[in-house]
C-alpha cells in the first residue's frame, strides 16, 4: 500500500527536488532553524550566515551567541535556536572534530541516539539531519506526514512519532532517496490539496485508494 501511494503521488507531481542545500552542513543548520517555522524565514537566516562566510562548523562555533542570535533572527525563536545550534556544533566538534563525514560514518541507529541526546534536537530534527544531510535511511515524520496518513485512515490520530515511523519504514524498501522524495511528495500533496483554505480534496490524487469512507477529521 505504501509503495502504491508513493507511485500515485509521484505520477501526479513528479520529482520534487526537496530540501535543496549547497552543503550537508547547511542542511543540518536548516533542520534546527525550521523547527515550527516557515522555510522562507529560514532561508533569510541561512543567507545571513552565508554572507558572513560562516557555513563551516569551526567558523560558526567561534561566533559569540549574541552575534549568532542576530544573524538567525529572521528564523524566529532566535534565542532558543542560537543555543540549539551551538549545542549541535559543540557535539559535532567535540566528538567528530567538526567532520560531518566522520559523524555520518557512525550510521544508524547509533548516530540517531547521539543526536537525540543533544538538547534541542528531537526526533524530527534528528531524522531530517540523518536523511537530508547524511543520506541515511531514517524517515522524517512531521506534521504533514501525520496529517496525510491519519486523515486518510492509514494510521490512528493518536499514533506517536515512532509508531508512524515504524509503519512507514517497515512497509518500504530501505532507500534514502525514496524516503526523501516520499516525504517531499506528502508535503506537496498537503499544500496543494488539503489546506483548509484550499479544499480541493475531490481532486486529491489519493482519493482512488482511500481505505473506506473518504477523508476524515480528528475528534
Partner DNA sequence: TGCCAGGCCGGGT
Partner DNA sequence: ACCCGGCATGGC
Q: Which stretch binds DNA (CB under 7 A): 49-57, 120-128, 198-206, 208-216?
A: 120-128
- Pairwise CA distance, residues 125 & 34, whole Å: 9
Cell numbers 547524511 correspond to 134
Is there binding between residue 137 and DNA (CB under 7 A)?
no
**Binders in 147-186 for DNA, by CB under 7 A:** none
Using only C-alpha atoms, what is the Rg of the chain? 18
Which residue from 18, 47, 102, 211 is in contact with DNA, where contact means CB under 7 A?
18
35 binds DNA (CB under 7 A): yes
Q: 164 CB contacts (<8 Å, ≥6 apart)?
A: 141, 145, 146, 149, 155
* Residue spans of alpha helices (H) in 72-118: 78-96, 100-105, 110-116
Number of residues that bind DNA (CB under 7 A): 36
Q: Is 140 in the site for DNA (CB under 7 A)?
A: yes
**Comparing C-alpha atoms, which of 40, 33, 100 is closest to residue 71?**
33
Provide the minimum distance between the beta carbon of 215 and DNA in the complex, in angstroms, as a whole number. Answer: 16
Spatial CA neighbour of 163 closest among 211, 129, 118, 123: 123
Q: Are 133 and 27 in contact (CB under 8 A)?
A: yes
Q: Residues 121, 130, 189, 206: which binds DNA (CB under 7 A)?
A: 121
Q: Which stretch binds DNA (CB under 7 A): 40-48, 163-171, 198-206, 207-215?
A: 40-48
Q: Is 104 in the site for DNA (CB under 7 A)?
A: no
41 belongs to the binding site for DNA (CB under 7 A): yes
What's the sign of the alpha-carbon dihedral 100, 102, 103, 106? positive
- Which window, 36-44, 106-114, 166-174, 208-216, contacts DNA (CB under 7 A)? 36-44
Q: Do 150 and 164 touch, CB atoms closer than 8 A?
A: no
Binding mask 66-85 for DNA (x = CB under 7 A): -------xx-xxxxxx----
Return residues touching DNA (CB under 7 A). Answer: 18-19, 31, 34-41, 44, 73-74, 76-81, 119-126, 128, 132, 140, 142-144, 187, 191
Amino acid at each position: 500500500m505504501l509503495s502504491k501511494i508513493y507511485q500515485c503521488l509521484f505520477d501526479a507531481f513528479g520529482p520534487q527536488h526537496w530540501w535543496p542545500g549547497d552543503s550537508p552542513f547547511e542542511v543540518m543548520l536548516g533542520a534546527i532553524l525550521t523547527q515550527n517555522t516557515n522555510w522562507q524565514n529560514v532561508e533569510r537566516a541561512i543567507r545571513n550566515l552565508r554572507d558572513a562566510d560562516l557555513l563551516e562548523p569551526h567558523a560558526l562555533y567561534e561566533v559569540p551567541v549574541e552575534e549568532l542570535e542576530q544573524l538567525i533572527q529572521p528564523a524566529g525563536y532566535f534565542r532558543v535556536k542560537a543555543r540549539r545550534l551551538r549545542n549541535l556544533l559543540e557535539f559535532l566538534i567535540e566528538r567528530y572534530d567538526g567532520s560531518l563525514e566522520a559523524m555520518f560514518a557512525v550510521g544508524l541507529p547509533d548516530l540517531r541516539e547521539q543526536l537525540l541526546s543533544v538538547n534541542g534536537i528531537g526526533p524530527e530534527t534528528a531524522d531530517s539531519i540523518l536523511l537530508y544531510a547524511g543520506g541515511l535511511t531514517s524517515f522524517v515524520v512531521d506534521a504533514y506526514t501525520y496529517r496525510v496518513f491519519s486523515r486518510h485512515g492509514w494510521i490512528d490520530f493518536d499514533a506517536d512519532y515512532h509508531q508512524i515511523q515504524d509503519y512507514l519504514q517497515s512497509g518500504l524498501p530501505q532507500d534514502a532517496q525514496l524516503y526523501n522524495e516520499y516525504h517531499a511528495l506528502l508535503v506537496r500533496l498537503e499544500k496543494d490539496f488539503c489546506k483548509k483554505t484550499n479544499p480541493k480534496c475531490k481532486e486529491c490524487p489519493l482519493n482512488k485508494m482511500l481505505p473506506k469512507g473518504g477523508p476524515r477529521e480528528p475528534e
